[in-house]
Amino acid sequence: MIGLLAFLLWINIQSFWALDWSSHSELLTLALKYVVLVGLIYKCIETEQHLRMFLWTHVLGCIYLGWIVYSTYVGGRFESFGGADINESNAGALQVVTGILVGGSLFMVGTFAERLVLFAGMPLAVNALVATISRSGFLALGIGGLSYNLFSPSKFRWQVRLLSVLAAVLFMLLTNPVYWARIDSIEEAGQQVEGVDTGSGRLELIQAQLRMSGEYPLGCGHRCTAVLSRQYLDDRLLTGEGQNRARSSHNTIMTMLVEHGVPGLILYAMLLVWLFRSVRSLIRSQKDRKGLLPALVPAIAGVIGAIVVGDFFVDYLILECRVWFIAIVMVMLNMTATAACANEQETSAAQQSIRARAGIGAATAGSRAGAGGKEMREGSR
């Protein structure tokens, strides 16, 4: 919360020199809403049942996105998910990836009916991911799945391995040559290849953004990359018509550096450090426990890994899904600390009870010994 409030304060200060005041004011309003949202999620989710309901809502939402694709897809890259922040292929793909990872954990601890729903719904979600033909979504799924397997508790490991194999088979069945042709372009590493979109324009954009950051070390405000792009990029790299031709940032890290300056980049790095330490703490604390939280640990590790990977390829600064999982990490840390405190209190109470019983026993034995000595003295007289 301190970090989120610090970012809110910083973008408020940036309002004095933001190049695109309209866009910057929208970010300021949205950031304030996100801070409130994190607080609400943290305060409202008090039990594991609350957490399960929240995550089920997210997973069902991703399955619904899959249904939208299934019922409306006519070819090409699917861009029509609708809704805030996900109305383009890359953001929609990342949203679905997080739902797939969380769905795996809910499947492991779910009832028969819940598993049946997930068994029927997950193919729709995977198909939605494939329909986006998103390279960043593919990499996010790969890193997320790898993290899921690496950080799964030992008692769930065989289930995780089995689900991973089934997920891989399902993914392969739903893909097609068009999908793999675009994914294979990752191997070109941004080199210019005629007739192939290798993302080379993004490398030129990053170079331009480095020059922008040199001129604006404190940032130039939200969406200022697009404002400055006409000065730093060739026209062939711009999109739009007439005076509206511009190029927005395609990298969250560069967005933080250019649009929010060195302080913004430092805050982003602090967020990553906090997430890493928090997930590591959850992995250690839930290692030998039972219930929902241990099953969720690999999903949270996978989701965080997927979002960070996505940050390298797409501007996800205002992605609401990120905010949800920041709050979920806070909730899980709170639940873990509360459970540990309760266990300590139970242990302390048990030890006090043992000591009390031992004291009573010692006192009883002492009184009996005293009574026996008195009888012996009387007998002696």
| Predicted pLDDT of residue 290 | 80
- Average pLDDT (341-348) is 71
More confident call, 187 vs 58: 58
More confident call, 340 vs 129: 129
Q: How many residues does the chain have?
A: 381
> CA-CA distance, 152 to 132, in Å (whole number)?
28
C-alpha 224: how far from chain center: 26
Cβ-contact 265, 219 below 8 angstroms: no
What are the helix (H) ranges across 15-88? 21-44, 48-72
Taking all residues of the chain, what is their mean pLDDT, rounded to a whole number?
88
What digits encode the pLDDT tens for the residues 55-72?
Answer: 999 999 999 999 999 999
What digits encode the pLDDT tens for the residues 9-49?
Answer: 999 999 999 999 999 999 999 999 999 999 999 999 999 99
Cβ partners under 8 Å of residue 262, min gap 6: 217, 218
| Predicted pLDDT of residue 239 | 85
364: confidence class by pLDDT, cuts 50, 70, 90: low
| Predicted pLDDT of residue 361 | 61
- Average pLDDT (350-374) is 63
| Predicted pLDDT of residue 56 | 97
Statement: residue 375 has pLDDT above 60: no
More confident call, 8 vs 235: 8
- Residue 140 backbone phi and psi in degrees, to 5: -65, -40
What digits encode the pLDDT tens for the residues 83-137?
Answer: 777 888 999 999 999 999 999 999 999 999 999 999 999 999 999 999 999 999 9
Please tell me the least confidently modeled range out of 85-99, 217-231, 237-251, 349-363: 349-363
Dihedral sign, CA of 181, 183, 184, 190? positive
Question: E strand or H helix at 228, and its extent?
Answer: helix 224-232
Statement: residue 306 has pLDDT above 90: yes
| Predicted pLDDT of residue 241 | 79
- Average pLDDT (139-148) is 94
- Average pLDDT (240-255) is 88
Name the pTM for this structure: 0.85
| Predicted pLDDT of residue 186 | 80
Statement: residue 259 has pLDDT above 90: yes
Residue with structure tokens 């598993």? Answer: 115
| Predicted pLDDT of residue 75 | 84
Cβ partners under 8 Å of residue 137, min gap 6: 89, 90, 93, 94, 96, 97, 129, 310
| Predicted pLDDT of residue 84 | 74
Please tell me the least confidently modeled range out of 105-114, 132-141, 190-199, 259-268: 190-199
Statement: residue 194 has pLDDT above 70: no
